[in-house]
Amino acid sequence: MEHYERLGRELIHKGAIIDYYQDTIKVPNGNIVKWDLITHKGAAAVVAVKDDGKLLMVRQYRNALDRETLEIPAGALDTSEEPTQVAAARELEEETGYKAGKLELLISLKTTVAFCNERIDVYVATDLTPSKQHLDEDEFLNVESHDLEELLQMIFDCKIQDGKTVASILAYQKKYRQAAD
């Protein structure tokens, strides 16, 4: 592999959930270039499976798209050192009002490797018991239950486009459902 050297990193903007940097990089041919970098403390997400096999999903407004999306429950880590399993359990209860009796790591994602270091660990939650939603004051979402086949069709009909949700549902199908068929 060719040699790249970071010569500098400048913080351009510190945000609430991301920080934006501009890196100065020496590329293999010796040229000096500027590359954008967004840092994120990380996140956790959950494929929550009810006893009837349906998956819990959340429908919420996303400002970047200016529309509602259907996604698996997820949220940022409180700190970059927080265990993702702890965050996954917290986000599941906060967003859906369910607690998981069992959480098992499904996949770990790097969401946009060209310019961002965000990592999302995705867990499968089973043995769900009702609890209470604890939404943030700026969080408004609806909880829905869907069959796996229905969600797969929504993916292929381009109705579900959120990357973590698409990857997680496909991984869940491959790991848990195809083995049972």
Other CB atoms within 10 A of residue 177 CB: 13
Which one is catalytic: 5, 91, 104, 137?
Answer: 137
Relative to beta strand 43-49, strand 32-40 is: unpaired
**String of DSSP letters for 117-164:** --EEEEEEEEEEEE------TT--EEEEEE-HHHHHHHHHTTS---HH
94 labelled catalytic: no
3-state class (DSSP) for residue 50: coil
Q: What's 14's DSSP letter? A: E
Nearest to 140 by CA among 62, 60, 64, 75: 60
Other CB atoms within 10 A of residue 41 CB: 17
Residue 110 to residue 108: CA distance in whole angstroms: 7
Cβ(54)–Cβ(147) under 8 Å? yes
Q: Which residue numbers are catalytic?
A: 137
